[in-house]
Amino acid sequence: MKLRLFFFFFLILGFLSFSQITPDRFIVHKVKKKETLYSLSKIYNISIETIKEYNPLIDKIGLKRKMKLQIPFFKNKLSIEDKPVLVNYKRHIVKPKETKWRIAYEYGLKISELEKINPEIVSGLKIGQQILLPSGKDTVINNFQNELNYYQVKSNENLSLISQKIGISTDSIISYNPILINSQPEEQTILKIPTQFNGNFDVKDGLLYERISLKDSFFSNNYLQLVCFLPFKIKEIEFDSVEKTNTKLSRRNLHTISADFYFGMEMAKEFCDSLGIKTKIKVIDTQNDLSVINEKISSVNWNGINAIIGPLIPKNFDFFSKNRRISDIPIISPLSTKEIDGDKNIFQSVSRLKRLRKVMINYIKNEIDSTQNLVIITDSMNFKIAKEFQKLSTKSHFVESEIGGFVIPELIDSLLVDSLKNQVIFESQDLGLAANVTSLLNSQVGKEREVQLFSSLRTAIYDNVNISRKHLGNIKFTYLNDNFPRETNERQKFKDRFLNKYGNYPSKESYRAYDVTLDVILRLAYQNKIFSDKIEETNYIENKFKYLPDDGGGYSNFGYYILQNKDYEIIEIKK
Q: What is the pLDDT of residues 126-139, one digit of tens each?
A: 888 999 888 765 56
User: For domain 23-84, is the CATH number 3.10.350.10?
Assistant: yes
Q: Which CATH class is domain 88-210?
A: alpha beta
Q: What is the mean pLDDT of residues 108-122?
A: 85
pLDDT of res. 242: 41
CB 376 within 8 A of CB 399: yes
The conformational region for residue 266 under phi > 0 = left, psi -120 to 50 = alpha, else beta, is alpha
Task: Give 160: exposed, middle or buried? Use CB within 10 Å, 0-12, 13-18, 19+.
Answer: exposed
Average pLDDT over residues 142-151: 82
Which residues touch 537 (CB under 8 Å, ≥6 apart)? 202, 211, 212, 544, 545, 546, 559
pTM of the model: 0.69
DSSP string of 451-499?
Answer: EEEE-S---GGGGSTTS-HHHHHHTT-EEEESB-----HHHHHHHHHHH
**Residue 357, pLDDT score:** 92
- What's the rounded mean pLDDT across residues 308-336? 92
The pairing of beta strand 223-230 with beta strand 207-210 = unpaired
Q: Tens digits of per-residue pLDDT, 28-57?
A: 888 877 678 877 776 777 788 888 888 998
List residues bridging with 89 in a β-sheet.
134
CATH code that applies to domain 219-351+488-558: 3.40.50.2300
| Closest by CA position to 509, among listed 498, 501, 523 | 498
Per-residue pLDDT tens digits for 491-511: 999 999 999 999 999 999 999
Strand partners, 525: none
Mean pLDDT taken over the chain: 84
Mean pLDDT over 389-401 rounds to 91
Adjacency order of strands within the sheet including 148-152:
190-194, 148-152, 207-210, 201-204
Query: What integer pLDDT is reported at residue 217 of this predicted model?
Result: 66
Q: What is the pLDDT of residue 384?
A: 94
Is the pLDDT at 100 greater than 70? The verdict is: yes
520-535 tens-digit pLDDT? 999 999 888 999 877 8
What is the mean pLDDT of the segment spanning 86-95? 79
Same fold, 23-84 and 88-210: yes
Which of the two residues, 91 and 270, has the higher pLDDT score?
Answer: 270
Report CA 545 to chain centroid distance, whole Å: 14
Give CA–CA dist 574/439, Å, rounded: 26
Give the pLDDT mean for 364-391: 92
| Position 84 pLDDT exceeds 60 | no
Q: Are 139 and 39 in contact (CB under 8 A)?
A: no
Of the ranges 7-16, 163-172, 216-225, 389-398, which one carries the lowest mean pLDDT score? 7-16
Please tell me which residue, 78 or 154, carries the higher pLDDT value.
154
Domain boundaries, the chain: 23-84, 88-210, 219-351+488-558, 355-481
- Alpha carbon of residue 469 to chain centroid: 19
| pLDDT at residue 2, rounded to an integer | 45
Provide the percentage of residues in the chain whose pLDDT is more than 90.
44
Task: Read off φ and ψ for residue 340, nearest 5 degrees.
Answer: -115, 160
Q: pLDDT by residue (tens digit) across 289-321?
A: 999 999 999 999 999 999 999 999 999 999 999
Which CATH architecture group holds 355-481? 3-Layer(aba) Sandwich (3.40)
Is the predicted pLDDT of residue 240 greater than 50, yes or no? no
The C-alpha R_g of the chain, in whole angstroms, comes to: 30
245 has pLDDT over 70: no
Angle at CA 426, nearest 5°, toward 425 and 427?
Answer: 120
As a whole number, mean pLDDT of residues 347-370 equals: 90
Q: Taking a C-beta distance cutoff of 8 angstroms, is the pair 480, 562 a contact? A: yes
| pLDDT for residue 244 | 45
Among residues 425, 436, 497, 427, the alpha carbon closest in space to that of 459 is found at: 427
